[in-house]
Chain A
């Protein structure tokens, strides 16, 4: 399904949220926050970006307040430089509060806040996850590729909205 399609139905430019999460003190786990920083620096209207170590249930309020949400996380496995997945609401229960998945957050946003944004998971491949406050060269290259793709798709969404 094309991104521009559903957004073109909106009577206005879509409100887009980029939520990058991970621990910048753990090398490539900082890919999500790095994307949030890059997108946030664009300063485009109707585009919000923030980062956190992990998803939290109160993020549901922000998620519900947007038309499109991009969850951005580092990936220990999977294709390089990145993969994009559709995300659907799906509640889960974990054994620790240190885990909350995008699917569960979407379910909470829908149930508690009445918001059902279209959502994607951008999984950027990382390689090293030790206690170092810097991305590896491979992850840095993947970050640049992911940012280029994401800014392009966000621009396409915004261009597709009626003036």
Chain B
């Protein structure tokens, strides 16, 4: 919903039913002297001090504290911090039971988070159509048209939460990981409970993929071109090039699919990635060092996870990957809306991996923790639902954290989101009015990346999305707020 108010000057139009202040997204579209779109920027509030907040805490507390960062993906932060703390604890390889417990938790997290994105955020646009009335274009409208979707949405989410609770003891703030391992295995009771449902979960994920493909096949041009552009991609992949969302080396490819770097251990990230600060944004702009500021930006997330891997080691997801990659005609798939298709394939992969693990006896093992010789620094990377997540800590002789640097998925996608919004603005802006259609398309583009509001508060009074149109000298022409 939105509202209109007259502006204060002859060149301003303000549409401003303000409800929120922080935890919001802000889009600024700048016109040039000719009145054409020059650039668009998507601003989002992020950490704002978390890296200082954690300084002085004991290093083994980090996997728990970092869950404060995000209400949607606390598990990703928990696991990434734990991997970094393994390094500080002098542990290069945890036990099979520990690694598989962590993987089980991770697959549950990615499954439920991707399900939330697809069913709650994306499916109204994709299954009902971008131009369908906003009053109907929501999860309820989807459920009315496709009744089974509501069931899939809630119960795939719940299953993922059950996996998290079974591995971490609780669905909120799970406490599975400690430096060098885990503090529990998977009980037979929990294993058997999860075994009962996993087959159904896989089937529902497959049906959701088929439903989504029906949209793509009936909107091929839109799917290919909307908010799209060629780009580089980055994700971690396993040692043999296969998809591995939990551990592996960093791989980056260019827009033709040629490797920029691969097999890069997280601890060497600064040799390959630079984090640039720009004065107009709280967010940093990471880019690939060898390509420089202008050309070094890249995309992460499900689309990158599919584009960067050579194969997937679970059969249903691998078959789906092959069909998906055909869209790229031998190269990467660049369609921004293809994030959703890729997200569904990742869901299937995670569900298959969960099924495999539930029949792996190592999860009932009792060798849970390894110790080593303390190190002063820990760096780790993981593929979170929204893409590559990196944690970097330094620790003093008193075991206190002295420094932290986190690069979250949304930060990695910063430049790409700006470009998608710019593409939408160029395609859809007409005159000096921020129309409902433009606002709608900007949102559709942003939803593909599902930016993380990370540690932003969620208090009443926050503002969800503001779009501002500026002329060449920065004067505000129009503002529109999505409530």
Binding site for B on A (CB under 8 A): 21-26, 28-29, 50-54, 56-58, 60-61, 73-78, 91-100, 104, 107-108, 111-113, 121, 123, 126, 129-131
Contact B157 A74 (CB under 8 A): no
Contact B447 A96 (CB under 8 A): yes
Nearest chain A CB to B1 CB, angstrom units: 8
- In the complex, chain B residues whose CB is within 8 Å of the CB of A51: 172
On whether A108 and B139 interact (CB within 8 A), knowing A76-B21, A130-B49, A131-B48, the answer reads yes
B480 within 8 A of A: no
Further contacts, 10 of them, CB under 8 A, given A51-B172, A93-B124, A95-B25: A21-B458, A23-B68, A23-B458, A25-B68, A53-B74, A58-B161, A108-B154, A111-B143, A129-B459, A131-B48
B223 within 8 A of A: no
B450 within 8 A of A: yes
Question: C-beta contact mask, B115-130 vs A, less than 8 Å → 1, else 0?
Answer: 0110111001100000
- In the complex, chain B residues whose CB is within 8 Å of the CB of A93: 121, 124-125, 134, 137-139, 443
Q: Per DSSP, are chain A's interface residues mostly helix, strand or loop, or mixed?
A: loop
Contact A95 B482 (CB under 8 A): yes
Bound-state Cα–Cα, A54 to B158, Å:
15
Contact A95 B461 (CB under 8 A): no
Contact B461 A104 (CB under 8 A): no
Bound-state Cα–Cα, A13 to B460, Å:
31
On whether A23 and B124 interact (CB within 8 A), knowing A52-B71, A104-B138, the answer reads no
Contact B72 A98 (CB under 8 A): yes
Contact B121 A57 (CB under 8 A): no
Contact B120 A25 (CB under 8 A): no
* Residue of A61, A74, A131 most packed against chain B (CB within 10 A): A131
Q: Within the complex, which residue of A50, A57, A74, A94 is in contact with B457, where a contact is CB–CB below 8 Å? A: A74
* Residue of B71, B134, B453 most packed against chain A (CB within 10 A): B71
- In the complex, chain A residues whose CB is within 8 Å of the CB of B124: 93
Bound-state Cα–Cα, A51 to B456, Å:
17
B293 within 8 A of A: no
On whether A99 and B154 interact (CB within 8 A), knowing A23-B458, A58-B161, A94-B121, the answer reads no
Within 8 A of A (CB), among B441-463: 443, 446-447, 450-453, 455-462
Bound-state Cα–Cα, A97 to B113, Å:
9
Contact A94 B464 (CB under 8 A): yes
16 contacts across the A-B interface (CB closer than 8 A): A25-B455, A26-B455, A53-B72, A53-B458, A54-B71, A58-B161, A76-B457, A77-B461, A78-B461, A93-B121, A93-B125, A95-B121, A95-B443, A95-B447, A96-B446, A96-B451
Q: Within the complex, which residue of B153, B172, B453, B460 is in contact with A76, where a contact is CB–CB below 8 Å? A: B460
- In the complex, chain A residues whose CB is within 8 Å of the CB of B137: 93
- In the complex, chain A residues whose CB is within 8 Å of the CB of B462: 76
Nearest chain A CB to B108 CB, angstrom units: 13
Contact A23 B71 (CB under 8 A): yes
Q: How many residues of B contact A (CB 8 A)?
A: 57
On whether A57 and B459 interact (CB within 8 A), knowing A98-B71, A99-B464, A131-B53, the answer reads no
* Residue of B124, B451, B460, B464 most packed against chain A (CB within 10 A): B460
- In the complex, chain B residues whose CB is within 8 Å of the CB of A52: 71, 172
Question: C-beta contact mask, B62-99 vs A, less than 8 Å → 1, else 0?
Answer: 00010010111010000000000000000000000000
B22 within 8 A of A: yes
B151 within 8 A of A: yes
Residue of A nearest to B144 (CB): A111
Bound-state Cα–Cα, A100 to B72, Å:
11
Contact B119 A57 (CB under 8 A): yes
B141 within 8 A of A: yes
- In the complex, chain A residues whose CB is within 8 Å of the CB of B71: 23, 52-54, 98
Contact A91 B460 (CB under 8 A): no
- In the complex, chain B residues whose CB is within 8 Å of the CB of A95: 25, 121, 443, 446-447, 451, 464-465, 482
Q: Within the complex, which residue of A22, A24, A54, A74 is in contact with B72, where a contact is CB–CB below 8 Å? A: A54
Q: Within the complex, which residue of B154, B446, B464 is in contact with A112, where a contact is CB–CB below 8 Å? A: B154
- In the complex, chain A residues whose CB is within 8 Å of the CB of B141: 91
On whether A75 and B116 interact (CB within 8 A), knowing A91-B138, A98-B72, A131-B49, the answer reads no
- In the complex, chain B residues whose CB is within 8 Å of the CB of A130: 48-49
Q: Within the complex, which residue of B53, B447, B458 is in contact with A22, where a contact is CB–CB below 8 Å? A: B458
B50 within 8 A of A: yes
B150 within 8 A of A: yes
- In the complex, chain A residues whose CB is within 8 Å of the CB of B161: 58
B273 within 8 A of A: no
Nearest chain A CB to B401 CB, angstrom units: 14
Contact A75 B138 (CB under 8 A): no
B140 within 8 A of A: yes
Contact A112 B459 (CB under 8 A): no
Nearest chain B CB to A21 CB, angstrom units: 7
